[in-house]
A and B are shown apart, each in its own frame.
Chain A
């Protein structure tokens, strides 16, 4: 039985079109300054949301410390980048600093993950939130990261045109890694833990092992995204990456749909771009933003809407199956005849 995964191909295709359009606009200069500035942050939020979806959607645990991991990666990565500036070629510098940022964030993921593994649900959410805040406070108080005044990233600052290719590669990497995890034995184990922990253990799945792995992998991508983000500002303060950012990422994940990679991407783009697009409405823009959010949440949580969706997809699947069965029956008939 061979199964082609058209869903994943569609996501990659949509991403490629999206990148091609944005890249074309960016490099031909057909894009406003404001929009240019939004580009890298949007990509960062895509990476953050898709990676957090591994924790929230696939593992089914609420983590509110994602901004902390991103912050840890951002500062170490940018420090590495500052040190390496002029010593190595720019592409190598970006790659090394993103790798180091990701790895440091992954270590933080492990450090946060280990003691909080026994916690679940609300308790885990609150603890990860606290851990994120602790990371923020530590960075704010370290001399090497510039303390409360923030880290001066002025001379490694790069424009959207320079960062665009790296951002594209990082988004592709994140999305592909998440897809591959989802469709692997490990992904099944992770989703099994989400759906029923006790049953998962009863079939030999080591819950601790997978939970830690998920935390570490998600933190790695958050860290790498942070490094990218750090490079599009002349100064970065840890204080700007507090729990509000973590919650914003969570909102994107929930809005896009639990475990839905395409949803996370789309929601990240829309939620990051929406407030900017609503600038014309000035005073009302946050209000509209909030109303849109509430409406989507209510609608996607509505039993009738859900059952309608199941009905449509279920009918489609059934048709496909029937057609396949008919084909096979025909084949069998031919063979007998």
Chain B
């Protein structure tokens, strides 16, 4: 099922920027929903994201943000609705298949391969580049050396973009917190995604690290020309890097728009920003 919908700025369910006008959305969710028992964790989630857009997903704790990422990456199967990635319906696909289709992600609670080296964490995600079978690896055929060399070079290049080349040999689990978060992003990028999902990338970071992260997010979009969809509680980050924002409350979208629109939306202020100030 290919959709021919083109993006029109400012028109529902779309968010974005002029830059992606007229292009096909990289991601389109139509009435996406999931129930856990009686709980409607996500309901009627409609969103379209442009191919080079940075979109934010915000909302109070338990609003269903992570659940949406889990729906997109097939950790959960949706109870209703459709997800289209570049116009292709993801129905019935598994998590690894969705990754191959072009969705990369990070996790709210860091999930690295702690006992593997930083380099191996990245290489493990390079199924596009390092492509040989069990037999080639066991018999050490010439292809093995070729692919491994290429893989290592590419992984090192990726790591050096984020200034992590010196940590390549370290155990991932021994990295400081901020670098673990960064490695998770590098690993997701190694899968060559068209859409990168970041679940609270700034959580637990100090202001300096957050500033660096903001630069990195823009750098990723400019350099890899991909779309980024991010969940974040840090409003400074969201308002600064996101071009479109989607606000979720109790599993439902309560507002969509540019950062200025969201900041001035009374419903959002009440449900989210206002409540935040009281704390």
Contact A204 B137 (CB under 8 A): no
A-B contact pairs, 17 of them (CB 8 A): A1-B156, A177-B138, A180-B139, A184-B137, A184-B144, A185-B132, A185-B151, A187-B137, A192-B116, A202-B99, A202-B105, A202-B107, A203-B124, A203-B125, A203-B127, A204-B99, A310-B174
Query: Do A188 and B152 contact each other (CB < 8 Å), given the known contacts A199-B107, A200-B124, A213-B134?
Result: no
Contact B73 A191 (CB under 8 A): no
Contact A192 B138 (CB under 8 A): no
Please encode chain B, from 168 to 212, with 1 for each CB lying within 8 Å of some chain A CB and 0 for all others: 010000100000000000011011000000000000000000000
Closest to A207 in B: B96
Q: How many residues of A contact B (CB 8 A)?
A: 32
Q: Identify which of residues 120-175 in chain B touch chain A, using a CB-to-CB cut-off of 8 Å.
A: 120-121, 123-125, 127, 130-134, 137-140, 144, 147-148, 151-153, 156, 166, 169, 174
Closest to B140 in A: A180
Contact A180 B95 (CB under 8 A): no
Select A185's contact among B112, B123, B187, beta carbons within 8 Å: B123
Instruction: Tell me what chain A mostly uses at the interface: helix, strand, loop, or mixed.
Output: helix
Q: Which has the most chain B C-beta neighbours within 10 Å: A199, A310, A314?
A: A199
Chain B contact patch, size range: 35 or more
Across the interface, which residues of B come within 8 angstroms of A317, CB to CB?
Answer: 169
Across the interface, which residues of A come within 8 angstroms of B121, CB to CB?
Answer: 192
C-alpha gap A314/B94 in the complex (Å): 39
Contact B147 A185 (CB under 8 A): yes
Select B124's contact among A181, A205, A206, A321, beta carbons within 8 Å: A205
C-alpha gap A206/B123 in the complex (Å): 15
Contact A204 B134 (CB under 8 A): no
Across the interface, which residues of A come within 8 angstroms of B104, CB to CB?
Answer: 202-203
Closest to A177 in B: B138
B5 within 8 A of A: no
C-alpha gap A330/B127 in the complex (Å): 36
Q: Identify which of residues 172-193 in chain A touch chain B, using a CB-to-CB cut-off of 8 Å.
A: 177, 180-181, 184-189, 191-192
Contact B137 A188 (CB under 8 A): no
Query: Do A195 and B114 contact each other (CB < 8 Å), given the known contacts A188-B120, A203-B99?
Result: yes
